[in-house]
Structure 1
Amino acid sequence: MINKKLAKKGATLALTLAITVPAVTPVVAASQENIKIESVKFNGMAAPTTIDEMVKTYTNATVDVKYINGKVKTFPLSYNYLFKSEDKVATVKGEKIPAGTPIDVNGNPIKDPSSTNGGYFVSDAPDSNSLLMPINGKLYMITHYEYQTVDAAGKSAYGLVPASMSLTELEQDKKTGELKTVKVEKIDFSAVNGLWIPCNGSLSPWNTHLGSEEYEPDARLFLDPTSKVRSQVETFSQFYFGDTAKANPYFYGYTPEITVDKNGKTSVVKHYSTGRFSHELAKVMPDNKTVFYGDDGGNTGMFMYVADKEKDLSSGTLYAATFKQTGIENGGSGDLKWINLGHATDKEVKDIIDSGITFNDIFETSDAPKEGFTAIKTYSNEGKVEYLKLKPGKEKAAAFLETRRYAAILGATTEFNKMEGVALNEKDKKVYIAISDQSKAMEKDSTGKDPADHIQLPKIKAGVTYQLDLQGGQKDSQGKAINSSYVALSMSGLVVGEDLKEADAYGNTANVDKVANPDNLSYSEAMRVLFIGEDSGAHTNNFVWAYNVDTKELARILSVPAGAEATGLFAADDRNGFSYILSNFQHPGDEVDGKAITAVNKEELLKAVDEQIGINKTGGIGYISGLPSVTKMPDFSQSGKKGN
């Protein structure tokens, strides 16, 4: 999800937009007088213009609810905290520790060796949040703590410190829907060798949390004892296992699934059969079998997984897409064909990993073109062209441990750039996917040196949100039936950013009234709204947007602090009669210093961010409350005026 610098991201504030809307469809019967809601409309807010506004996470957006009796009520949105990642609210072995502190293989909090007082690491980057459906009458939220930006000495710690997740039990006010924290517990990943960089996530249709491990460590570069990758994985291993000898890049780069049982206890598995690449998140289709993924980074691919059984991602068939361009209008468009990479079970892939396999056991390599070798260019190997030859009998290892490389060898497209969030519109049978930065490999290759040039789209640094059309009855590139009714056949631009020729007075290099660098996506079936969160250096303040798929109206509904990233969007249409939209922010103040800001004093802005939030020091979790429950309709007999 990193759109700026892999080693520089800052504090995150997770917030929950608590707006109560129809739980299933936009037309829901009310409990009083059979009044129904006709539509929900977000009224956007202006971009911040003062230092005070630029530092805050805030909204002054409103929501109009139109009823079939002609009445319209307008409800303002507001913001509140739950806790910060530095707050000692998590319980580990009877000790209260900061919520963002990672734990090792034995469940002990991990200390920061650079700390002068023996303090723990505290992640400043809470990311994805899933608000689960009630379990045994209780509400739970799972939160990612993506990484540690810097250690106590101020040195980069990105990817060096094991990541973590937490389970928060929430208390919900039965009248207002207000959420309060009851307890926070760290989730144990010792059964799966720890957790790599967890970016965004999703809630499965069967009420489990599907996490992610992005920017998988390159197994080829790991074999070089002097490489940064080797150092990174070994440092991670030392912190987690207490042993660098256990470092293995093939442990990471998958989809972790977290189950919460009726007693509020968690269990974790990693789905190795879903492939190994830069997992942004996994989004399951309504058949409970088909899954689409984001593959973050440069020169990445588009992948689809079809499980053998419903609600079970432990075995299935993995596919990679080939993109055939059909147009450049409104961002661009293309048809998709799917290459069957192979079938596997989690156990089969895990057994291959545990055998001690290395990259050199799977491929032969050449430094130059050579007969029998295929030239590919992917995110792996630092984006350099590689000449590879698959060793006999290593098809399964290649497909599930070197997924992107193997896909490229078979002819799949690996030219996507910054492929981020994925969301589902079930009624219209569409998937939305964010290309945060449409440039580089997605442009025409002007050098003629790339092994393939499937994508030749317009350069749009501000990015494009695409829609994918889904159908059943499809066949793969070899003519074999794909056992899914949700196969993506084409993609086309839906929401397009706009680059500016020069920065405006606030340092924005993209149109501030359009989405720039879309990252997280989440769709509300009830509201018919696609929510888009930004990870943008092109906007000095990043925003969360609401895009109505019917009216095509775009409304800014949240502003996060200058330099921060808006992440972790999650639309929950019904939790005990209330609905919530989760959103995060990360790295406040990041890269602001390098911007040409003249509308306000830049030094005062940075000082305010540091004093009021703390740059690279903490993140937080909270929520914005708004629309009351539709099961408790307004009393129209009292007043015909707007408002509540």
Structure 2
Amino acid sequence: MKWLSFEDVGFARTDAEKHKVRASTKANVNGREVSIGFTTLLRGRQDPSRPERQCDLANSPATCMGVLLSASGQPLRDDAGAVVVSTAHDNTTLQKVGDKIFMVNSTESIPAAMFVTTLAQDPATGALSATATRALDTSPIDGFWYSCAGSKSPWGSHLASEEFPVDARFMQERTSWADLRTRATSPTFPEFKLAAQYWGVNLEDANQDGTPDGDIADFKAVFSPYFYGFAVEATVAENGQATLKKHYAMGRHSMELPLVMPDNKTVLLTDDGTNVTLSMFVADTAGDLSAGTLYVMRAYQTTPAGSKDFIADVDWVNLGHATNDQVRALLHPPAGTPRITFSDIFETEAPNAGACPTEGFKPVRGANSETLECIKLRPGMELAASRLETRRYANYLGATTELNKEEGMTYDPDSHTLYVALSDISKGMGGQTGGDDHINVATNLCGGVFGLNVGPWMNASGTVVTNYAPLNWYPVLVGVPQTYTAGSPYVGNTCSVNGLANPDNLAYLRGYNTLIIGEDTGSGHQNDAIWSFNTVTRKLTRIMTTPFGAETTAPGWFPDINGYGYLTAVVQHPYGESDANRLTEPEATGRESWVGVVGPFPALK
């Protein structure tokens, strides 16, 4: 058995520690102690090709890490006229292409951006450094949206996600900019305005009341909620250029990340938000994600209602076959043909006491919502419903859409175990009135990591659909709610400081029994952490902590790049979710994200 363990950095106690990025400085690899650390490759608002990494937003905005550009390549600006530079960096992969090493990084913003950064590697030490970066043009895929976690495909491409797409029913019902401003929550109204600016919509505000003067129809003419919510694949060439593909055939979700299994055909898809699900896409051809059949989980809970443990068996509901081209044609119909809307796909009516008054309608919960609604599929709209309204249609067909905050996912091929993080076990996972109620477990606001055994799954006709289907759920490691009394150094933390708080991103190092767990927590832990968990010994070690108000994102293992191993890690939006007042303290380290690696390790073969 190979071995990897880390120095424990401990819980951040002092104000100075709470302002820093702290990471293990030592690891033990197969009995050998090695020196490691966190190396910042880039921070937001940096251009590695310029003196002192200072961005030139006037003459070279596309080479500034985190800048948000319009479809025409112009920097987006906020209401005060300042160029918008994201502090929300997320999914990061390292790519060795020929003799070159690149880093691909996405932003969790509206609109989202993707950057390709050229890296240099010191052959003597393995140290990485950034030499140049550039934002990709996302207009060929109708733009890019709130990109959260992701993965690297077995064939080396960067797989990104699009989280929290606009509810198409909500958008269709908006009649004016003022109406949208009143009702917008997620996305926020300023985010809607940035999306409109991306498409070049005139947002003139002569009255300076914060609401554009024009007709919202101008925005709807160039923007569709159905443009977003998909897996996005970036393939980098040796010259640093990249091609982007949006994989509509895999369905539209609040997609946290797509993960390709070892057959290069089965892709598992997590779904972030409230009343969400787990999906499985089986491609027609290995290594080609442009066509295939989509399935959505049906969970059968085996623990009693109200149990603290979520244990369940899993079956799969078939949502049908599709190709990218078929779905994209719905979004870009022939000239003169209206673009598809929510009401083209479903009829609706209001529920009454948790039931639908009219036969043929079914109560479901809408996009990332606890609100019950009654829908009926219009004739011939199965393809559109399955790929553009995936969650609603899955619930309509009887699949389980009750998970809450389904986040990161990773796979151990040796034990055939899929690990999935549920950041917050509540809401739809408790008992619900009206509609389906497949899951009913006790609330745990600290969340947990679950194991799913993976194996062959046969459809009703006895045909093996895939050898890589999740077959059940069971807890592996859950957070422990905790109240600390006044005077305790941990007062204010609501989850035990010796365990997890709201696990989010996951990564698994094959052969070393090492599961990496990143947190996205507000009050659970004041300072978010990245943990190493040995799945055999069950030893949990805190290997990194982040500054006030930050989130840990993008842990990913890259075991051997020219003889060295790396663990990517990103510190997102420091002082952003909480503790914004701490930014004025002398020890404050700034709002910009850190994008970097822990290591270097010897090659982790």
TM-score by length of 2: 0.87
Q: 2:108 aligns with which of 141, 146, 152?
A: 146
* Among 80, 86, 93, the residue aligned to 1:114: 80
Which residue of structure 2 aligns with residue 339 of structure 1? Answer: 317
Q: Which residue of 1 aligns with 2:508?
A: 523
Q: Which residue of 2 aligns with 1:438?
A: 425
Counterpart residue type for residue 60 of structure 2: E
The answer (yes or no) to whether the contact 1:81–1:620 under 8 Å persists in 2 is yes
Tell me the equivalent position of 1:403.
390
- 3-state SS of paired residue (1:320): strand
| Match for residue 500 of structure 1 among 482, 507, 518 | 482
1:95 alignment partner in structure 2? 60
Find the counterpart in structure 1 of residue 214 from structure 2: none
3-state SS of 2:467 partner: coil
3-state SS, counterpart of residue 399 of structure 1:
helix
Rounded to whole Å, the distance in 2 between the matches of 1:451 and 1:94 is 55
Tell me if structure 2 keeps the 8 A contact 1:376–1:405.
no
CA–CA distance in 2 between the matches of 1:370 and 1:481?
A: 39
**SS in structure 1 of the partner of residue 3 of structure 2:** strand
Offset, 1:526: 3.8
Specify the alignment match of 1:642 in structure 2: none
Evaluate the alpha carbon distance shift between residue 321 and residue 218 of structure 1 in structure 2; reply closer, same or farther with a 3 A threshold. Answer: same
Distance 2:400 2:282 in 1: 19
Matches within 5 A, 1:503-582: 505-506=489-490, 507-537=492-522, 538-582=524-568
Question: Is 1:238 aligned with 2:200?
Answer: no
Structure 1 residue aligned with 2:94: 131
1:73-88 to 2 correspondence within 5 Å? 73-88=32-47
Q: State the one-letter code of the partner of 1:336.
A: V
Structure 1 CA distance for aligned equivalents of residues 448 and 45 of structure 2: 35
One of 22, 46, 53 as aligned partner of 2:10: 46
Q: How do residues 472-483 of structure 1 correspond to structure 2 at under 5 angstroms?
A: 472=456, 474-476=457-459, 478-479=460-461, 481-483=463-465
Give 2:345's aligned residue.
362
Unaligned runs of 5+ in 1: 1-25, 27-37, 67-71, 148-158, 595-602, 632-644
Counterparts of 1:545 and 1:73 in 2: how far apart (Å)? 21
Letter of the structure 2 residue corresponding to residue 171 of structure 1: A
Q: Percent identity?
A: 35
1:381 and 1:433 map into 2 onto residues whose CA distance is 19
* Counterpart Cα distance in 1 of 2:388 and 2:357: 24
Q: CA deviation at 1:46?
A: 1.4
Q: Describe the shift of the 1:627–1:270 C-alpha distance in structure 2 as closer, same or farther (beyond 3 A).
A: closer
Counterpart of 1:184, as a letter, is T
Partner Cα distance (1:591, 1:82) in 2: 23
Matches of 1:481 and 1:91, distance apart in 2: 58
Q: Distance in 1 between matches of 2:265 and 2:442?
A: 34
Residue 312 of structure 1 is matched in structure 2 by: 288
The alignment covers a number of residue pairs equal to 556
Equivalent-residue separation in structure 1 for 2:604 and 2:410 (angstroms): 25
Asked if 1:607 corresponds to 2:556, the answer is no
Deviation (angstroms), 1:76: 4.1
Superposed CA deviations along residues 326-374 of structure 1, whole A, max 9, x for unmatched, are 1377732100010001100000001112231110001000013222344
Question: C-alpha separation between the residues in 1 aligned to 2:599 and 2:7?
Answer: 15
Contact 1:569-1:581 at 8 Å conserved across structures: yes
Are the aligned partners of 2:22 and 2:544 in contact in 1 as well (CA < 8 Å)? yes
Task: Tell me, yes or no, if the aligned pair for 2:527 and 2:545 is still in contact at 8 Å.
Answer: yes
- Report how far residue 468 of structure 1 moved: 0.9
Task: State the match for 1:457 in structure 2.
Answer: 441
User: Aligned match of 2:297 in 309, 317, 321?
Assistant: 321
Which consecutive unaligned segments of at least 5 residues does structure 2 have?
Answer: 49-54, 202-218, 334-338
Q: Deviations over 1:533-563 (max 9, x none)?
A: 0001210011000111122111111111122
State the Cα distance separating 1:482 from its structure 2 match: 4.6
Give the Cα separation in 1 of the matches to 2:134 and 2:76: 15
Corresponding residue for 2:410? 423
Cα–Cα, structure 1 residues 608 and 625, in superposed 2: closer, same or farther, change >3 Å?
farther
String of CA shifts for 1:53-84, please: whole Å, max 9, x gaps: 11110124532234xxxxx3323432332222
Report deviation, 1:585.
Answer: 1.7
> What's the counterpart of residue 623 of structure 1?
597
- How far off its partner does 1:144 sit? 0.9
Per-residue CA deviation, residues 562-604 of structure 1 (Å, 9 max, x unaligned), is 221111111111111111111112232345459xxxxxxxx7x
Alignment CA distance shift 1:173-1:512 (3 Å): same
Deviation at 1:381, TM superposition (A): 7.2
2:506 partner amino acid: L
Are the equivalent residues in 1 in contact too, given 2:252–2:390 (CA < 8 A)? yes
Residues 257-272 of structure 1 aligned to structure 2 (within 5 Å): 257-272=233-248
**Contact 1:300/1:417 (CA < 8 Å) preserved in 2?**
yes
For 2:209, the equivalent position in structure 1 comes to none
Q: Is 1:104 matched up with 2:58?
A: no
Q: How do 1:31-42 and structure 2 match up within 5 A?
A: 38-42=2-6
Cα deviation for residue 92 of structure 1 reads 9.4
1:167 aligns to 2:141 (yes or no): no
TM-score, normalised via structure 1 length: 0.82
CA contact (8 A) 1:61 1:76 kept: yes
**Counterpart contact for 1:322–1:337, Cα < 8 Å:** yes
Higher relative contact order (CA 8 A, sep 6+): 1
**CA offsets 1:419-442 (integer angstroms, 9 cap, x no match):** 000101111111111100011111
CA distance in 2 between partners of 1:58 and 1:233 (Å): 32
Partner amino acid, structure 2, of 1:620:
W
Letter in 1 for 2:521: S
Q: Structure 1 residues 294, 470: CA separation in 2 closer, same or farther (over 3 Å shift)?
A: same
1:201 matched to 2:150? The reply is yes
Q: Check conservation: 2:19, 2:546, Cα contact below 8 A.
A: yes
1:327 alignment partner, SS class: coil
Which residue identity does 1:420 align to in structure 2?
E
Contact 1:85–1:99, Cα closer than 8 Å, also in 2: yes
Cα distance in structure 2, aligned partners of 1:378 and 1:500: 32
- Identify if the C-alpha distance between structure 1 residues 60 and 301 changes in structure 2 by more than 3 Å, giving closer, same or farther: closer
Query: Which of 235, 249, 255 is the equivalent residue of 1:279?
Result: 255
